[in-house]
Amino acid sequence: MQFVSRADRGAPQPKAPFTRIDVTRGVKIHYEGTAVPADLAGPDQHHRCAGRVNAIEASHMADRNEGWISIAYTAVVCPHSVVFEGRGAHVKNGANGGSSLNAAHYAVCAMVGDSGLTEPTEAMLHGLRDAVEWLQRDGGAGPEIKGHRDGYATSCPGGPLYAWVQAGAPRPGSTAPAPAPTPTPPPSGPDWPGVYLRATTHHEAARIWQQRMRDRGWQIDVDGWFGPASAEVARRFQAEKSLQPVDGIVGPVTWAAAWTAPVTN
Ligand SMILES: [Zn+2]
Ligand SMILES: [Zn+2]
């Protein structure tokens, strides 16, 4: 895979921290949906591509209606098969049409439009496959490859690209659609340590649970002291995940959920 990172293309700092995600069901394919110059696909035109990605990012960040903190896409693939990092792996995107849609699939945009360059080049299809396989390998993406229009009212990713998606998004030259990757095993965490964490408990297990909750995005001190503040986090977590009872005590169920329940964004 030919990959250009955010740093490589001089991407600006996002306006707010990215939202981390562990896994997705797969990837949704997008197109630019506007005019893309037909001559961009020329073999000697790749020098224009990084600037084009940066221009997409600038327009997204200037979009007051959407309020995007950076480019909305996970990645953008150019006609020369290069994968440009957008928000990147393990980051929630802003392109699929809503918060839950954005958390469910990554968003990879191809540099084709609704006029000019409307058909993906063969190199671009290789790049799209490279991006999908990268996200499956390094981003916790599941096997689904869909179009933006799957689950949202839009023409994106346009007829030609959507036909490729529906054919199983095959790598050009391959005789059969790529086999689905081995499903990701269900998440699991460390065994419950056998001690109920309640205010106030001082225990190494409290530190492990606090660290896990912090990794999930909760504001919590990681000090091994399970006091009233930790109990409050436990209570809110239990309520959010519909665990019973909501008592602020970390027993085996609340302990396990810290590793197995999906992270809410
Ligand atoms: Zn789209
Ligand atoms: Zn290019």
Task: Summarize pLDDT for 208-239 with one digit per residue, the tens.
Answer: 999 999 999 999 999 999 999 999 999 999 99
Query: Residue 264: its pLDDT value, please?
Result: 82
Task: Summarize pLDDT for 163-183 with one digit per residue, the tens.
Answer: 999 999 999 987 655 566 666
Task: Summarize pLDDT for 59-102 with one digit per residue, the tens.
Answer: 999 999 999 999 999 999 999 999 999 999 999 999 999 999 99
Instruction: State the average pLDDT over residues 152-164.
Output: 95
Q: Which ligand is in closest contact with the Cα of 33?
A: 1
Domains of the chain: 2-166 (3.40.80.10), 201-260 (1.10.101)
ipTM of model: 0.98
Residue 115 corresponds to which tokens in the numbers above? 């006029």
CA of 216 to the centre of ligand 2 (A): 37
- Which residues line ion ligand 2, judged by CB < 5 Å? 46, 49, 78, 80
Vertex 263 angle, CA 258 and 265, to 5°: 140
Task: Summarize pLDDT for 246-260 with one digit per residue, the tens.
Answer: 999 999 999 999 999
